[in-house]
Amino acid sequence: MRNKALWLIVGSLLTAVAGAREAQLIADLEAISSSGQSIQIFSQLSPLQINKIHGWQIVVRAADGEPVSGAEISVSGGMPEHDHGIPTQPRITRQLEPGVYLLKGVRFHMPGKWQLVVEIEQPGQTGRAVIEFEL
Ligand SMILES: [Cu+2]
């Protein structure tokens, strides 16, 4: 009886740890590009806030799940309802590991609906994804 209670406690602790790990792996934003690449965005500022400049890690995988290395990635966008762009020009500064890119200079200056266009250029193919989110 006592042993059973202990196992139940251990069981729920393990579940809690697994839950925390999963939570860290959940992307802030994600999309599938027109070429079938998966794009996951992990913001260094999460949840996103108004007017704070920060960086993003962008993880790009091909349709088969392999990391996409050496791609040219550009991020643009704006607020479609206000007819203006993003206030900065975020740039990929380096590739941190295969398929993981560091985007610097991200800032959103007002609340509302934002739309981002992520373009991924690789030799022979270009993928494009539109990501919408509410801030
Ligand atoms: Cu606006």
Q: How far is the CA of 18 from the centre of ligand 1 (A)?
A: 39
Q: Are residues 30 and 40 in contact, defined by beta-carbon separation less than 8 angstroms? A: yes
Confidence of residue 26 (pLDDT cuts 50, 70, 90): confident
Q: How far is the CA of 82 from the centre of ligand 1 (A)?
A: 5
Q: Are residues 114 and 135 in contact, defined by beta-carbon separation less than 8 angstroms? A: yes
Q: How far is the CA of 79 from the centre of ligand 1 (A)?
A: 5
Q: Is the pTM of this model over 0.85?
A: no
pLDDT digits (tens, 9 = 90+) for 50-77: 999 999 999 999 999 999 999 999 999 9
15 by DSSP, 3-state: which?
A: helix
Q: How far is the CA of 35 from the centre of ligand 1 (A)?
A: 30
Q: How far is the CA of 29 from the centre of ligand 1 (A)?
A: 19
Q: Beta strands 54-61 and 38-43: pairing type?
A: antiparallel
Q: How far is the CA of 110 from the centre of ligand 1 (A)?
A: 6
Q: How far is the CA of 87 from the centre of ligand 1 (A)?
A: 10
Q: Are residues 102 and 96 in contact, defined by beta-carbon separation less than 8 angstroms? A: yes
Residue 55's φ and ψ, nearest 5 degrees, are -115, 160
Q: How far is the CA of 113 from the centre of ligand 1 (A)?
A: 8
Q: Which two tokens stand for residue 24?
A: 């860290």
Among the listed ranges 10-19, 23-32, 74-83, 104-113, which one has the minimum average pLDDT value?
10-19
Ion ligand 1: protein residues whose beta carbon lies under 5 Å: 79, 82, 110
Q: Residue 23: count other Cβ atoms within 10 Å of its Cβ.
A: 8
Q: How far is the CA of 116 from the centre of ligand 1 (A)?
A: 13
